[in-house]
Structure 1
């Protein structure tokens, strides 16, 4: 196999003694993606200047989409030409047709190829339509094509939760080449949302090998979001091992890991920055250091000693803010003041040490829920408490959630309507036609194909009815329940439209109508298909538009998490304890969402039901407070304030 003779010097970049590969951390995935796109563009232009071909190894999935968006922008607005570019994609599901929704051929055309001037013959993507007996020879030919262009100039990668790069699953060797592989169970679970169910995910894939990737002149591995933080830590700070194929990149002479702050969260430089050098001791970082120390030495806060601090890399904290006794008291009090049974503020009391204001005693509260169940899953106990404490509570469901309903639920509801019409001698013929159309539409639909408008409508009505039932159980008035059906979501597919002015205007108009004293929004950004992130962006944009309104100075914004993750203790600014009875009432409110019961259509990486995840997180938060020496509760829901 021909390999380029000359290599770039090993990139040093941002690095410390804990990291075995150069790492660059950006504030967010957009900023990071632009940086990657700029490097690719610079490489393309430098090759053009010398009349050379630029050979790119490309990846698919959610990670590189913003990179491709920026490359398309550079082509349209700054004249970046792809005329000298040859591409080789990492992988493709097998078997799969190029026009399938999940095909990487389709992905690459939709995100890049159809929008730039790359010659048709210069695009290479593994063929998922080959007969099984032709695959091995095809893989050898794929390797030969890469070699015929002198190898890959630059390979971009994402990383899976198993540590796979491409589809090189755990067990892949450093010498592996392009081949047919069987997908790991975790990889199939992670792909389930794209295929509308794990049972529809292809069992196999064709992938470049680790050896093929390692032969690239330059490699960039990208990762975004909290869900990738653990595997990033193991990749960057762990030992190289075939159990985590991404760790082989530690031995590449010109590889860099590009992260957003969320994906970098578990690296020592982010999680324990005092271990790698001097740091700025903000209030939050002090809390984090003390809480980490408590976990490390298995002590509550008030029992920590100067020696505990000094023996665990925190001598600088003691030297500047000690002794330990003073630090302990200060952090203990800060955490104690986050705890409140009055999330809307306790009226007619001193609120100087409480997370929320005492006045006005009865507040207007607006709770945004990305899907029709995030409200009760993530902050159901607090929602109940706000209502019971006589605040005017509104819930706004930002999307219909219609893709997260199983087809057999639709048939069951359509059957009910048909039987209802027959029982009361209504116009049965039209109901029967509706039922037959629904059943036929579902029967003729392939896995992952778009539902008919009728089926989408029924699925949306199922989610809407469940949300109403949960709100009524809690005691909310029907007129305080708002269904926004934001347009970005209504595609019938996992892939959504970009956020538009129309989406943001819907949020703006509702906030203007209610003029809330409190807004609660989902800050849980690890949902498997990104809806939470888009919904939160819409809220942030609306707040930016409205922030100069006089009444907005009295509006506080609280971010909740729950279904997919929870705030770390040092981040929590309001902790609402729940009694066993309140936790049970919250569970019953979640149970009203029957279409999500037993087995949700998009479970993500956690196979448990949503109520089980929620209770485990709430109980774990309470246990962490208890272990720090604070009061012991059954469960706690946590919030962080957002300043706009």
Structure 2
């Protein structure tokens, strides 16, 4: 193991409002480099990455080519890595990825494209890797290297243990990396155990490096990369040694960096007139010194970098009381608003009551997993609750589950439909397809429909348990962007927006709940939220009157939870309510015992959900607020 540097040099990071803006900026930077090289009569050598991080950059480069004449005739590209073994036409192949996202849509010369060959015979791997290095040198070296970062801190497929002298080679993938890739391969057991990758040393020889990271799930490893010791246990930290590195983040990925999370510790200017920043500082201070907020003293402030806050707004007691009251006012047992009550300090309006409530659920179980307790309470308190299931969720059903339902259909036809052979034929077709299905193969249209039907039935069962009639309160949107039969989805399109606007106009809700949890591994939540936001913005721009009386609340829970200083509505759950929520989740039997795409967290969704609810309740308790069994948390979106 390489010893850590004694005095690491943190990397400067640029944080953009969101990944769309950041990706457009990076694409424009790359386009500028290409144009400058062309004006000089030189080639532009790009090191390219795959994965979810650079896709929007590639889409913007394609747009620049089509709409603004950006030519790639002078570009030579070298990709970072490829799974091994991997046929170039496989769904998970990085050759296919690059063609779908970039190469098939621009005018780059085919002979200028270089991607590690996942089909090279084992005895020729070393020679291939040496030749790949030589090709980079012959091209004049890489001008700009685009990178993502994995949860293990890998760049390319340089897993922990990869040193700064490592070159292009065959490497064994870390278990965490294979787990993260499981969704692309329809199960961890199908993920290759090895990959070809440029080495850390190869990457560090690039003249300029741009690393992209989006979402809450990358925040912890980004902090280690930017601010931690340089060590081969986190290979990305070697970027600290490079003279020209650009780390490009969205707000979520940059949230753990010290200048953003605790700027007072660096002596940076802080706007202590901002109530949100004061709340953030105090909840951090209370957790740091392990005291309830009302017990914090002047000494606690002074000893932990908050003397300026104390000087401007003190004494400590006054600040403590203000923040304590703000947190206390987030707690409500009436998420739809309490009728005939003073709502001055309540998170939701008292009127109108009851409300028309529309809960958007990206997958057919996100509603009960992430806000099942609140859903049950809204129903119990008499609101008109509707649930919109934005996607079918059909790729997240095990083949064995589909076969079981096909078997049921055949038995039903045989025993109750006068020996109608249709069911038996259906079963045979499904059975034959699944028997011969290759790992990672896209399901047939018939199997996709069957898996979608399974998830619809489970969603209806959960709603019936909650006391809702699925015939009138369940809305299955099946947004087109999702319906590819593959983990990789289409971009959000006009039809997705049209369907969402149509549903909103039909129900005209006074309260909307949407998934603000953007860490799901497929990116489905992110696209679904964008569909809602864009639809509301278009309706607002058109002067839609009912929006004037509509509030939007964002929930999390399946993958991530809101930080306590962000929470604007906290709905407490009793032990009995947490049990009812669990039973609603259990109605989704195809996701029970083991979800097909578990992501980084191997627990079942109900276990994750309960743990997050209990953790949030415990944090409120530790800050000196009332003690509950669990809490579901929400943040209001102002549109």
Q: Please, what TM-score do these two structures have when normalized by structure 2? A: 0.97
8 Å contact 1:30–1:66 — kept in the other structure?
yes
**Would you say 1:557 and 2:552 are equivalent positions?**
yes
1:329-359 CA-partner distances (Å, limit 9, x unpaired): 0000000000011111111111111111111
1:532 equivalenced with 2:525 (yes/no) = yes
Q: Does 1:442 align with 2:434?
A: yes
Instruction: Work out whether residues 29 and 259 of structure 1, in 8 Å CA contact, stay in contact via their aligned partners in 2.
Output: yes
Query: Is the contact between residue 58 and residue 87 of structure 1 (CA under 8 Å) also seen in structure 2?
Result: yes
Q: Say whether the 8 Å CA contact 2:363–2:389 is kept in structure 1.
A: yes
Aligned-residue offset at 1:275: 2.6
Given that 2:8 and 2:230 are in contact with CA atoms closer than 8 Å, whether structure 1 keeps it comes out as: no
**Does structure 2 conserve the Cα–Cα contact (< 8 Å) formed by 1:177 and 1:209?**
yes
Residue 295 of structure 2 is aligned to residue 303 of structure 1? yes
d(CA) in 2 for partners of 1:234, 1:176: 21
Q: C-alpha distance in 2, partners of 1:182/1:343? A: 49
Alignment match of 1:139 (pick from 129, 145, 157): 129
Mapped to 1, the partners of 2:33 and 2:160 lie a distance apart of: 32
- The aligned residue for residue 222 of structure 1 is 212
In the other structure, the counterpart of 1:544 is 537
After superposition, give the CA deviation of every residue in 1:499-521 in whole Å (9 maximum; x if it has no partner): 11211111111111111111111
Rounded to whole Å, the distance in 1 between the matches of 2:392 and 2:616 is 30
Equivalence for 2:570: 575
- Structure-2 separation of matches of 1:376 and 1:202: 34
- 1:482 is the counterpart of 2:472: no
Q: For the residues of structure 1 that align with 2:23 and 2:564, how far apart are their CA atoms?
A: 30
Structure 1 residue 402 and structure 2 residue 394: aligned? yes
Match of 2:156 in 1: 166
Q: Which residue of 1 aligns with 2:561?
A: 566
Confirm or deny that 1:364 pairs with 2:364: no
**Post-superposition shift, 1:433?**
1.1
- Measured against aligned partners, the alpha-carbon deviations of 1:139-176 in whole angstroms (never above 9, x if no partner) come to 01111111112211111100000000000000001110
Partner of 1:518: 511
**Contact 2:9–2:240 under 8 Å retained in 1:** no
SS where residue 311 of structure 2 aligns? helix
CA shift digits 1:382-435 (9 cap, x unpaired):
000000011111111111100100011111100011111111243432211111
Cα shift at 1:18? 9.4
Distance of 2:12 and 2:535 partners within structure 1:
38
**Relative to structure 1, is the Cα distance of residues 19 and 285 closer, same or farther in structure 2, using a 3 angstrom cutoff?**
farther
CA deviations 1:435-477 (Å, max 9, x no partner) are 1111111122211221111100100000000000000011012
Q: Deviations over 1:89-148 (max 9, x none)?
A: 100000010000000001111111111111111000000001111101110111111111
Contact 1:418 1:428 (C-alpha < 8 Å) held by counterparts: no
Say which of 583, 592, 604 aligns to 1:597. 592
Q: Deviations over 1:257-301 (max 9, x none)?
A: 111111000001110122331122311111000000001111100
Q: Given that residues 221 and 258 in structure 1 are in contact (C-alpha distance below 8 angstroms), is that contact kept between their aligned partners in structure 2?
A: yes
Distance 2:21 2:336 in 1: 36
Counterpart Cα distance in 1 of 2:610 and 2:414: 43
Alignment of 1:91-110 (within 5 A): 91-110=81-100
SS class of match (1:570): coil
Query: How do 1:45-84 residues align onto structure 2 when only pairs under 5 Å count?
Result: 45-84=35-74
Which ranges of structure 1 fall in alignment gaps of 5 or more residues? 1-16
Partner of 1:6: none
Q: Which residue of 1 aligns with 2:497?
A: 504
Are 2:256 and 1:263 aligned? no
| Structure 2 CA distance for aligned equivalents of residues 471 and 426 of structure 1 | 33
Deviations 1:44-95 (A, max 9, x none): 1121122111111110011111111111111111111111111111000000
What secondary structure, in the 3-state scheme, does the structure 1 residue paired with 2:239 have? helix
Tell me if structure 2 keeps the 8 A contact 1:175–1:209: yes
**Equivalent in 185, 193, 215 of residue 203 of structure 1:** 193
Q: Give yes or no for contact 1:18–1:268 (8 Å, CA) kept in 2.
A: no
Instruction: Give SS of 2:310's match.
Output: helix
2: CA distance, partners of 1:145 / 1:510: 55
1:302-354 residue CA offsets vs partner (Å, 9 max, x unmatched): 00011111111111111111111100000000000000111111111111111
2:487 aligned with 1:494, yes or no? yes
Q: CA deviation at 1:183?
A: 0.4
Counterpart Cα distance in 2 of 1:375 and 1:150:
53
Is the Cα contact below 8 Å between 2:574 and 2:628 reproduced in 1?
Answer: yes
SS in 2 for 1:636: strand
Structure 2 regions of 5+ residues with no counterpart?
1-6
Of the structure 1 ranges 30-39 and 404-413, higher mean CA displacement relative to structure 2 is found in 30-39
Q: Which residue of 2 aligns with 1:335?
A: 327
Moved more, 626-635 or 428-437: 428-437
Aligned twin of 1:85 = 75
Out of 253-262 and 599-608, give the one that drifted further.
253-262
| Structure 1 residue 459 corresponds to structure 2 residue 451 | yes
| Alignment: residue pair count | 628
Question: What is the deviation of 1:550?
Answer: 2.0
Supply the distance in 1 between the matched residues of 2:418 and 2:595 (Cα, whole angstroms).
Answer: 34
Measure the CA separation in 1 of the matches of 2:546 and 2:248. 41
Query: Whole-Å Cα distance in 2 between the matches of residues 601 and 187 of structure 1?
Result: 16
